Amino acid sequence: MYDILTQCPLFMGLGSETISELIGDNSQYTIDKYKKGDVIASKDSAYSGLMIILKGCVSGEFTYTSGQSLLVDVLEAPQLIAPAFLFGGCNRLPVDVIAQCDDVEILTLHRGLIFEIMQEEMVVLSNFIDIISNRANAWSKKIYVLSLKTLEAKFAHYLLEQSSSVIIIPDVAHIAEYFGATRSSLQTVMETLMRKRIIDCVGGKIEVLNRVALEDIEK
C-alpha cells in the first residue's frame, strides 16, 4: 500500500517508510474493495474521511430527477476523491462515486488523522493546497463547458482544447457522457461538422480542418 501512496499527489516527495510512519496502525484507516458498478459513496453523504484510490478507477456522476446522469469526472489510482469537501462547513459529497472496474480498492483516512499528518509533515500540507488549487481550475473549466448551450459548441470547445490538430478519439460514448448527451446525439454533431468540412474522422482519429469555424461555433 505504501509504495502505491508514494505516487499519490498527497504524499508526493515522501518515501514509503515515511508515509507508513505518518499513517500509523490500521486503526487509523480502512481499506474497502468494490466491483464495477458498485456505489462507493452517494451524493449528499457525509464525507468524514479522505478517500484515496489504491487500485482501479472510479467516476463521479450527478443524477438528475429525470434519471439521466451526468459524468462529472473519472479518477484513477492513486488519485484523491473529492478532497475539497473534506473540510469546511458542509462536508457532503456533491456526486455519486461509482466503481468503474471489477477490482477497485479505496483507502479512507479519517479527517482527524489528515489534520495530524499535515501538522507533522509540511510537504503533505503543501501538496494538499496544490491539489485543491488544481481541482478548482479543472472545475472552472468544467463549469464553462456546461455553460455552453449546444452540444455542437461543447464539442467544438473539446476539440479546441486538444494540443494537436489530429486527435485520437477515445470512446465516443464516454465523450458524450461527459457532455451529458447521448452517443447518437454526439455522432450527429460529428457528422454535421464533417459535412461542413470543419473536421474529418478517419480510422479512430479526428482531424481539425477549420479551427476558425470551431471557434465561431464555441462563441
On whether the pTM is more than 0.75, the answer is: no
Residue 161 pLDDT: 84
Q: Are 56 and 101 in contact (CB under 8 A)?
A: yes
Q: Show which of 100, 117, 143 is a domain's final residue.
A: 143
Q: What percent of the chain has pLDDT over 70?
A: 97
Percent share of the chain, pLDDT over 90: 51
What is the pLDDT at residue 22? Answer: 92
Q: What is the CATH number of the domain that holds 115?
A: 2.60.120.10
Q: Residue 50 pLDDT > 90, yes or no?
A: yes
- How many separate domains does the chain show? 2
Whether residue 174 sits in one domain with residue 213: yes
Same domain flag for 191 and 106: no
Whether 193 and 101 share a structural domain? no
Q: Do 91 and 23 share a structural domain? A: yes
Structure confidence by residue, pLDDT tens digits, 156-188:
888 888 878 888 876 788 788 777 788 899 999
**Which grid coordinates belong to 145?**
463547458
Q: Could you report the per-residue pLDDT of 8-48, keeping only the tens digit for each? A: 999 999 999 999 999 987 778 999 999 999 999 999 898 98
- Please name which of 82, 83, 118, 101 lies closest in space to residue 35, comparing C-alpha atoms: 101
- Say whether both 110 and 207 belong to one domain: no
Provide the pairing of β-strand 199-202 with 205-208: antiparallel
Identify the CA nearest to 213 among candidates 142, 137, 160, 138. Answer: 160
> How far from 4 is each of 1, 20, 100, 120, CA to CA, in Å?
5, 11, 19, 21
